[in-house]
Amino acid sequence: MYVRHLSRELARLGHRVEVIGAQPYPVLDVVDGSGTQGGPALTELPSLDLYRQPDPFRTPGRGEYRDWIDALEVGTMWTGGFPEPLTFSLRARRHLRARRGDFDVVHDNQTLGYGLLGDLGAPLVTTIHHPITVDRRLELDAAESWQRRYSVRRWYAFTRMQKRVARRLPSVLTVSGSSRQEIVADLGVRRDRVHVVHIGADTNLFSPIRRCRWYRAGS
C-alpha cells in the first residue's frame, strides 16, 4: 500500500516513477493527467516465488534456475532462512547498474540487503517503517520451546544483514518519531541520519469528526 500510494502521488506531481518489484508484484494506480504516460510503471524483477500458493516452500525444477542468486535463494530457504531481502537486493543492484543514468534517485522500501551497498548509479535513500528486529524479539519472547526459538532465529537471520546495511546507508527515512527511536536503538543508525517523513492522508476521504471529544478539546 505504501508503494502504491507513494508512486501514484509522485507521478501526479509530474515525476517519472518506476517501481521495481518481485512477487507478489505491487498493484499500481493509473494517474490521469500526470504527464507520465498514465502514472508509475512497474518493472518486474522475478524471484523464484518460493512462498507462492498453493505450494509454498516448494523446490524449483532444474530448468527454473537462472543464476547463482537463484541457487542462493533456494539454499537459504532449505536451511530455514528468509532469503528475499538479500536476493532481491542483489537482483536490483544488477538491474540498476545495467541502467546507469536512467534514474535521478533510487528509493528502497526497507529491503536493506547487501546489494544496496556501493554504487547503484544514482543516489540512494531508504525507508524503514520499523526495525524487523522488533518482530524477531517479540516472537522469541513468545516461543514456548527451544525448537521454536531455534526456528525463529533461523527465519530472522536476515536481520543481522539489515542492521549492517542500515548503519552504512547515507540517509534513512521513517514514518514516525517512535520508529526513529527504534531504528536508532535497535539498528544502531546515527540519529542525525534518520529523518521523519510522516505518512500522508487523503483529505478527500479522511477528515476530523467534529462531534468527537478530542476534536473539540483541540479546536
The domains of the chain are located at 45-218
Residue found under cell 500510494: 5
DSSP annotation of 176 reads S
pLDDT for the residue numbered 206: 87
| pLDDT mean for each 10 residues of the chain (219 residues) | 92 94 92 62 96 94 96 97 97 96 96 95 95 96 96 96 95 96 96 94 84 58
pLDDT for the residue numbered 99: 95
Whole-number Å distance between alpha carbons of 41 and 17? 6
Provide CATH code, domain 45-218: 3.40.50
Cα angle for residues 108, 110, 116 (degrees, 5° grid)? 50
- Of 174, 158, 86, 186, the C-alpha closest to 126 is 174
pLDDT for the residue numbered 207: 85
Beta strands at 18-21 and 41-44: parallel, antiparallel or unpaired = parallel
pLDDT for the residue numbered 201: 84
- Of 170, 73, 159, the C-alpha closest to 120 is 170
pLDDT for the residue numbered 202: 84
Against a cut of 0.75, is the pTM above it?
yes
pLDDT for the residue numbered 129: 96
Whole-number Å distance between alpha carbons of 11 and 37? 9
pLDDT for the residue numbered 215: 53
pLDDT for the residue numbered 34: 45
pLDDT for the residue numbered 33: 52
**What DSSP string describes 23-88?**
SSPPP----TT-SSSSS-EEEE-----TT-SSSTTPPPPGGG--SHHHHHHHHHHHTT---HHHHH
Describe the chain by its helix, strand, coil percentages, rounded to 5.
45, 10, 45
pLDDT for the residue numbered 36: 47
C-alpha of 63 from chain center? 29
Q: Is 10 helix (H, G, I), strand (E, B) or coil?
A: helix
pLDDT for the residue numbered 38: 64
